[in-house]
Structure 1
Amino acid sequence: MKRWLPRPAAANAALGVLVVGGLALRLVAIISWWPVGTTLADSWPYAVYAGTNPLNDPQHPGGYSTLLAIIGFVTRSVAVPVLLQHLLGLLAALLLFWAVRRLIGSPWPALVPAAAVLLNSDEIFLEHTIMAEGPFVVALAGALYASVRAVDQPSPLWKWPAASAILAVAAALLRTAGLFFIPVMALSLWCSAPQPWRARLRVPALVVAVSGVLLLAYAAGSLASNGRFEVSPATGWHLYSRTALIANCHVFTPPKGTAGLCDPRPAPQRPGSDWYLYDPGSPALRLFGPLGNHDSTLEAFALAVILHEPGVYLKSTFHEVEGYFVPSLHPYIYGGGCAIDCQVDWIYAIKHDPAIVAKTERGMEQFYNRFTVHVSRSGIDFLHSYENPFRFGATLLTLTSLLTLLGLFIGPRRARVGVLLFGVGGLAMLVFPTFGVYYLGRYQVPIAGPMAASAAICLWSLWHLERGRRAARVDDPGHP
């Protein structure tokens, strides 16, 4: 019996359906919440620093504000970056599709990561705000695609290997979590060719070298701009906010000038990390002023806590990580982390705190032309009802993580390299940052596509193994 469509054509048709679905969801978002979502308080600092100096932002790397500033040379309409981010979301899905299809030679598993981006309501929500996640997703997808091309075409080095490094650095300058992807990408490229280990070093060495040069150049620019040689801003403050929850100043002597950072309250009664970063009652704010001041001093205090209480610190870090996989084990405390829907929920277009919305809009209008937000209740209700059934939440994160672990040990070399690149790379960007920042469900949204790709590759490997087993039974009827 002939198929209605040849396999490649059928897969392309399925991709077309997914793209149309993703485009339709984005159009609903645009029509229902015009011109931009204003419920995330981080939006206005991005806009403010786009209008002044992106490198001066003490909370975020300068990549996203720089992108906004570049767009701002053309127009100060806030709708333009939002529309651009929605288009970039579609592009990210296609890049992931092309990357997985090229890696394993089949378009069907490649549909899974494409769907994870195209139909992901949380991804669309973040694209619809002035937040770095939208451009970060496409930069990461570009780095993944270029890495796969580098597996097939390692020479010339200046082409795909260099492109993968440049795109990975671009992602890291949008969100510093991307820094943890770079070593995984280099390791994946080293593992990709069945050659002696020395011969395999050329490509990953180039990736590390190019990434290092670009990051050093950025850090030097930061030093010239604000006196801080850094890629990730205010690392001392953020590490302090993580360790202030557990610091027991009775078991060590705080570094000189930092004794006032000790919180006298018992650890179970202390608030979350955000309180130590932003609340006027924070010891750091009272002693040293706004976020970013005396960063090295706060870093010294935080490192002293870790040195003298390593077990407590590791236990605290594990608690932050487990929140992504079992949110019920991470109950909300004032100023602490929370699950995805505490920040990313379409119903907030109608029900969010008016004071936060007003502050966000006023802050954004320091850079953008004045705008009025229009909300369609019917469209928002539809998106709100759609988001939970199709959310990349704790269940799917756990499932894709388990498949990633399995996929590292089964299947052809290319498939295992793909699982390392997509899956371990995605998890690295989620897990390792918790050593310095707290759990926040929003942070798992950008890795939905890579994790879905890893899981799909693992399932393809299982199918590949089963098909080989069945073929062996046909060729050898006596085979059990």
Structure 2
Amino acid sequence: MAHRALVAALLPAVGLRVLAVLGYPPSLLFYGDSFAFLSEELKPGTTRPSGYSLLLALLRPAHSLTLVTVLQHLLGLALAIGVYALLRRRGLPGWGATLLVVPLLYDEFLILLEHMIMADAVFTVLVAAAVALVVWRVTPATAAAAGLLLGLAGITRTVGLPLLVLTAAYLLVRRYGWRPLLALVVAGAIPLGAYATWTKAEKGRFALTEADGNFLWSRTMSFADCAVIDPPARLAVLCPGMPVEQRPYPPHWLWEDFSPLLKVPGTANRNQLAGEFARQAILAQPLDYLAAVGADLRQLLRWERTAVDEKTPYKLPAAERPISESVRGVAEAYEAGPAATRVVEPYAGWLRAYQRFGYVPFPLLMAALAAAFGLMAWRRRWDALLPATAALALVVAPPFLAAYDIRYVIPAIPLIFLALGLTLAGPAAGAGRPGRHAAAGQEPVATR
């Protein structure tokens, strides 16, 4: 059988996801975010777009969080199979393509996010599927499909927006012609424009969220010194009230009682003033800003995802966590019954034991990304350019715009190994221009 290596790898990967379903029914819930997504009242989100909420609304009639997590697990498996198929199409042998999708099948964090009521698993699939479509073949049809997927990714998590720009730039740089480019942009604009219009109708502002300024302001709380910034009086209220060495990590400045952000009335006004303050802080202290970003990016050199005794929401629980009374009704209305995560042994214990070692350490992940860029330049495999740059953008953007979080790195995993596989597949392609084939929307012919 041509695909026996993939089948052999798939069976244990399916088993791990079955353990998640059996060990942690009906789902894993994340802080307040999961409950915001589950809310029966559909409206544009303030701090995050509501694309994932729209998906949950479609599934609501089933009243089953288990259905949501099973669907997300199936999407994760389908993504791995799709990347495998693309790499085989590019000439990799079955065992080689299988090795490159092993991280997609077995990384414990991907399995965790698939089992969590959060937008990340769906976002990961949308982005990777869009990039894979463009890599597979560039035609107006595939470009339009990719644009639509990236537009949906943008209303699922706003970090997806730069990926639509990157994909358009890729089509321009590789000279695929104006038809695929136009198809990509128009299709991508449909979900983005529809969502922004919905926000305009509901909140009077044409936007995807009302928190981009807040997040950037929280980033500057790592270093902001108002004696250096000298902000005007209307922004001075946002100055931090504690020494740099005592300040908590940026996300805490968005939600905690000590945050001066809470002193500013009005959601839109708060976001605007926070954005102005952040831009002034960055211009006044550019080196401090880069130092804060660099400190976050150094987390990528950490071998362990989480230490044994580290408190983090990204560990599988050993005991049931009661849902807060303030949001319990939201989850129970969706589930039509008890919705708290149950811990069923021995399945949960087996999965917790796997979580301690079942992942690609971030230093190895970054080495794989660096290898993809290096091999791409050496072998002139420019079809790897899009997944490699998209992966880099996903890894680097959050520390510049908000803060580092383990969860924000995970969507880059499929793109990194797709890029690496493309650089290893088939004969080295030349750097010649696509020419008339590209103008017709076809894959550039390799030249030496």
Q: Do the structures match in fold with TM over 0.5?
A: yes
Structure-2 residue corresponding to 1:24: 15
Structure-2 residue corresponding to 1:380: 348
Shift of 1:168: 1.4
Shift of 1:340: 10
Q: 1:132 aligns with which of 104, 108, 119?
A: 119
Structure-1 residue corresponding to 2:443: none
Gaps of 5+ in 1: 1-8, 333-338, 466-480
Q: Residue by residue, what CA displacement relative to the aligned partner does 1:407-461 show, whole Å, maximum 9, x if unpaired?
A: 23022x5x3322x122221121121232211100111222211112222333447
State the distance in 2 between where 1:170 and 1:18 align. Answer: 30
Is this contact kept in 1: 2:19–2:347, CA < 8 A?
yes
Gaps of 5+ in 2: 429-448
Shift of 1:232: 4.3
Is this contact kept in 2: 1:99–1:144, CA < 8 A?
no
Using the size of structure 1 for normalisation, the TM-score is 0.81
Q: Residue by residue, what CA displacement relative to the aligned partner does 1:344-384 show, whole Å, maximum 9, x if unpaired?
A: 222x243x8x4667766554235432225431232222112
Shift of 1:62: 1.2
Q: Residue by residue, what CA displacement relative to the aligned partner does 1:253-275 show, whole Å, maximum 9, x if unpaired?
A: 32442211111322121112122
Shift of 1:47: 1.0
Is this contact kept in 2: 1:162–1:210, CA < 8 A?
yes
Equivalenced residues, count: 426
State the distance in 1 between where 2:294 and 2:268 align. Answer: 26
Shift of 1:211: 2.2
Q: Residue by residue, what CA displacement relative to the aligned partner does 1:121-177 show, whole Å, maximum 9, x if unpaired?
A: 2111111111111211221232123212333xx2xx2x1110011111112221222
Matched, 1:188 2:179: no
State the distance in 1 between where 2:274 and 2:252 align. Answer: 15
Is this contact kept in 1: 2:391–2:416, CA < 8 A?
yes
Q: Residue by residue, what CA displacement relative to the aligned partner does 1:183-239 show, whole Å, maximum 9, x if unpaired?
A: 3323333455xxxx4x63442343234324542332222111222322244101111
Q: Residue by residue, what CA displacement relative to the aligned partner does 1:54-81 show, whole Å, maximum 9, x if unpaired?
A: 41x2221111011101111x22222221
Q: Residue by residue, what CA displacement relative to the aligned partner does 1:305-340 show, whole Å, maximum 9, x if unpaired?
A: 112112211221222222223379x999xxxxxx99
State the distance in 2 between where 1:92 and 1:150 align. Answer: 17
Structure-2 residue corresponding to 1:416: 382
State the distance in 1 between where 2:386 and 2:315 align. Answer: 30
Matches within 5 A, 1:298-337: 298-326=274-302
Matches within 5 A, 1:353-368: 354=321, 361-368=328-335
| Alignment-mate amino acid for residue 385 of structure 1 | A
State the distance in 2 between where 1:277 and 1:349 align. Answer: 29
Shift of 1:404: 2.0
Structure-1 residue corresponding to 2:314: 344
Q: 1:274 to 1:174 in 2, by over 3 A?
A: same
Structure-1 residue corresponding to 2:193: 216
Structure-2 residue corresponding to 1:335: none
Q: 1:205 to 1:217 in 2, by over 3 A?
A: same
State the distance in 2 between where 1:340 and 1:456 align. Answer: 34
- Secondary structure of the 1:257 match is helix
Is this contact kept in 1: 2:154–2:192, CA < 8 A?
no
Structure-2 residue corresponding to 1:235: 212
Structure-1 residue corresponding to 2:423: 458
Q: 1:324 to 1:127 in 2, by over 3 A?
A: same
Structure-2 residue corresponding to 1:142: 129
State the distance in 1 between where 2:43 and 2:241 align. Answer: 37
Is this contact kept in 2: 1:392–1:448, CA < 8 A?
no
Structure-2 residue corresponding to 1:253: 230
Q: Residue by residue, what CA displacement relative to the aligned partner does 1:378-407 show, whole Å, maximum 9, x if unpaired?
A: 222211221233313312222212212212
State the distance in 1 between where 2:230 and 2:189 align. Answer: 36
State the distance in 2 between where 1:358 and 1:84 align. Answer: 28
| Alignment-mate amino acid for residue 332 of structure 2 | E
Structure-2 residue corresponding to 1:477: none
- Secondary structure of the 1:135 match is helix
| Alignment-mate amino acid for residue 164 of structure 1 | A
Is this contact kept in 2: 1:392–1:445, CA < 8 A?
no
Q: 1:393 to 1:288 in 2, by over 3 A?
A: farther
Using the size of structure 2 for normalisation, the TM-score is 0.86
| Alignment-mate amino acid for residue 437 of structure 1 | A
State the distance in 2 between where 1:186 and 1:172 align. Answer: 15
Shift of 1:282: 0.8
| Alignment-mate amino acid for residue 187 of structure 2 | V
| Alignment-mate amino acid for residue 118 of structure 2 | M
| Alignment-mate amino acid for residue 365 of structure 1 | E
Q: 2:260 aligns with which of 283, 292, 303?
A: 283
State the distance in 2 between where 1:24 and 1:367 align. Answer: 27
Structure-1 residue corresponding to 2:412: 447
Structure-2 residue corresponding to 1:478: none
Is this contact kept in 1: 2:131–2:386, CA < 8 A?
yes
State the distance in 1 between where 2:10 and 2:215 align. Answer: 39
Is this contact kept in 1: 2:151–2:187, CA < 8 A?
no
Matches within 5 A, 1:84-95: 84-95=71-82
Is this contact kept in 1: 2:372–2:423, CA < 8 A?
yes
State the distance in 1 between where 2:333 and 2:422 align. Answer: 46
Structure-2 residue corresponding to 1:179: 161
